[in-house]
Every structure is written in C-alpha cells, then in structure tokens.
Amino acid sequence: MQQGERTLHRLEKIVAFVAVFAVLALTVGFAQAGEPITPEKVHLRSSVALVQDAASGETILAKNTDAVLPIASITKLMTAIVILDAGLELGRRVVISSEDLDALKGTRSRLRPGTALSRDELLLLSLMASENRAAAALARTYPGGTEVFVATMNAKAQALGMADTRFADPTGLSAENVSSAQDLARLVQAAHGYPVIRDYSTRESATVRSLNRTLSFRNTNGLVRSASWDIGLSKTGYISEAGRCLVMRVRVASRDLVVVLLDSWGKYSRIGDANRIRKWLETNAAAGPRI
C-alpha cells in the first residue's frame, strides 16, 4: 500500500511540473505576441521593412524604419492621389510628347510620342505597370504643369504627416524622391482610401490602343496574380539608388496589414521577403490567439 502511495506521489509531481511548465510557456508566448518581430526572426533581404496592423497601427515587424531612402516608383501612389484630388476629367485624352521621355535614366517605354490615351488609362498604366511616360504626362498636363504638380505632391505629403518625405518628380526616376517606411505606411493607408487606386494597382493586366496598335501590360507585382494572396493595394519601385521596393495593403492571418519593403537586393528578393513575412505570420497565428 505504501509503495502505491509513493508511486502516486511521483506521478503527481510529474503532472504538477508539466502543468507549471505549460503555464510558463503560455505566459512567455503571450508576452512576446504583443512585441514587434525582430528582423532576426524573419530573414529579410530588404534593408528596410515594416509591417503594421492597418486598423490599430500596431507595429508587427520593424527593420530600419526611420531610414530615409529613395523610393523609386512608389512615388506613383502620390501621383495618383494628386490627380484624383484635383477632380480632373479622367476621360480627357492626353497626347504623349517628347517632354515625357526619361532624361534621367534613359528608360524605355512602348508609349511613343504621339500616343493619345485618356487620363484614366494613363493612371491605370502608372499604377499597374509603373509606366513612367504615363505618370510624366499626367503631371505635365496638370493645371500649372509639372512644377505645380510636384509642389502639390509635397504639400499633400505634409498634410498626411509624412515629415521624412520629399518629391522631386512624379515618376520616381529621381533619386531625390525620398521617404521612410513609417511615412510610406501613411501613404499606403491614404491611397487605400481611393477605390480607383485600389482597383488599378491590383489589376493583373490591361490593354490599350496606341497608334493603331494594341499594347498589353502586366502588373509589376507578380503576387497580384497569385490566388494565395489577398492584396488590396500594391506598388513596386526600382531604380539603382533605391533597390527593389514594394508596398502593399494585404490581408494575412485574418488581419489587414500594411507592408513596406525598401532597398531589397536581387530581382526577386522583395517577393521572397513578402512570402517569408506572410509564412511567419500565418505560422504564428495558427500557434496562438494573436500574431
């Protein structure tokens, strides 16, 4: 009988130890759940990364978020906002001119001088395909011209509280277009309030008629063509000074998130970083009540 009691006591101790260990593990897990993910937990090739909860503003992942860097064609989100805020007639046709050609980087475009497209089509190509001549033409034909347009971009940035942001041109080809991840999260949130930007920036592809030819364009963010991603807004960017950049408003693990990735090295590294972030978030959401 005494032997049975001693066995029972040992079992009770084991059960008690396991219970205490489980409680401690849960306590530590919940304590860490509210902390931002450190870059070491998710191997990223982007120099700057930020993931925020779109509803609460909670920072979920942060890496060099105060760095002020060139942002390349992420610029075009502000270009679209300025056009839409002005209430200009989107059906009006605009002719691409030699003034719209890229004198900074010498980038090519299939929109030849003489091409006539509506402002609406130019807006679509700017956001979806990151068409530089389309963005340049939108700014050039803005009331007051490109100079006034860029000044309006900067004024809008100030109004949105984007203290780290400066714009020098409407395309993003200038390395003087700079911002921080925190500011770009504000820009994404503001842009998401425009149905046209949400629609055009996430279109998979589009066609336009140019000088008696049909031209096909695809979204520069291949993730919009993936059924596994729920993307509400997207914009890519690249110039050599900025590296590969990507901003998105996405739904991951039942949460609406803002994702900012800047200065990513390698052609596909920003896409790889986005996939790594999503996998980490989904894995940890499945393991606990919060990300």
CATH code of 183's domain: 3.40.710.10
Taking the C-alpha atoms of residue 183 and residue 185, their distance in angstroms, rounded to an integer, is 5
| 260 in Cβ contact with 184 (< 8 Å) | yes
pLDDT in tens, 111-120: 999 999 999 9
pLDDT at 1: 45
pLDDT at 23: 34
pLDDT at 114: 97
Q: Is 8 a member of any domain?
A: no
Q: 236, 238, 237: which is closest to 248 by C-alpha? A: 236
CB atoms within 10 A of CB 119: 20
Q: Is 179 a member of any domain?
A: yes
| 253 in Cβ contact with 281 (< 8 Å) | yes
Domain containing 223 equals 38-287
pLDDT band, very low/low/confident/very high, at 291 (cuts 50, 70, 90): very low
pLDDT in tens, 111-160: 999 999 999 999 999 999 999 999 999 999 999 999 999 999 999 999 99
Active site residue 63: no
pLDDT: which is higher, 40 or 252: 252
Provide the number of structural domains found in the chain. 1
Q: Is 23 a member of any domain?
A: no
Res 232 pLDDT > 90: yes
pLDDT at 11: 45
Among the listed residues 73, 109, 174, 180, the single catalytic one is: 73
Buried b (16+ CB within 10 A) or exposed e, 244-281: bbbbbbbebeebbbbbbbbbbeeeebbbbbbeebbebb
pLDDT in tens, 72-83: 999 999 999 999
Contacts of 86 (CB under 8 A, 6+ apart): 142, 143, 152
Q: For residues 64-70, give the mean pLDDT.
A: 97
Taking the C-alpha atoms of residue 192 and residue 31, their distance in angstroms, rounded to an integer, is 32
pLDDT: which is higher, 33 or 46: 46
Active site residue 76: yes
Q: Is 2 a member of any domain?
A: no
Q: Is 156 a member of any domain?
A: yes
Cα 291 to Cα 25, 62, 254, 256, 273: the distances in Å are 16, 14, 10, 12, 18
Q: Is 201 a member of any domain?
A: yes
Percentage with pLDDT > 90 across the chain: 80
pLDDT at 267: 85
Q: For residues 204-225, give the mean pLDDT.
A: 96
Among the listed residues 46, 109, 126, 130, the single catalytic one is: 130
Q: Is 167 a member of any domain?
A: yes
Q: Is 61 a member of any domain?
A: yes
Active site residue 73: yes
Is residue 145 left, alpha or beta, with left meaning phi > 0 and alpha meaning psi from -120 to 50? left
